[in-house]
Amino acid sequence: MRRTELEKYITEVYNTEPDFPWIKYPNYEVFRHISNKKWFALIMDIPKEKLGLSDKGFLSVVNLKCDPIMIGDLLLENGFFPAYHMSKDNWITIALDGSVTDDKIKMLLDISFELTDVKIKNARKEKDI
């Protein structure tokens, strides 16, 4: 999946618009929950060397929150990197260059969305509502 495809997918499926919080990085897009404003995706173009790649230039990536149990296995796959500028225990960086399948990115996006969604702290309160 390429950057523009992912931006369109997130906007349509999660009914949210990107936020551009950094003047210094105008192409860094944050996608947030409408209800709690928590991030669930961060799309950016970063220098390849910041990801440990020897190539010059920039790579479009997305940071997603992820189940820590999954991160170790994902890092063994092509197109996955330790989270760039996020907690490496709970986030992962994914290349948007076609090296990761669209279905896998969508599945991980769903997980990120779920992990950052509003949680009801007390199951009893949920039952009473």
Cα→Cα distances 36→50, 118, 121, Å: 31, 7, 15
Q: Does domain 3-128 have CATH number 3.90.75.20?
A: no
- CA-based nearest residue to 42, from 12, 16, 67: 16
Instruction: Decide: helix, strand or coil at residue 103.
Output: helix
**What is the pLDDT confidence band of residue 59, given thresholds at 50, 70 and 90?**
very high
CA angle 91, 48, 76 (to 5 degrees): 50
pLDDT in tens, 86-126: 888 899 999 999 999 999 999 999 999 999 987 755 444 44
pLDDT at 120: 57
Tokens 């551009």 sit at which residue? 20
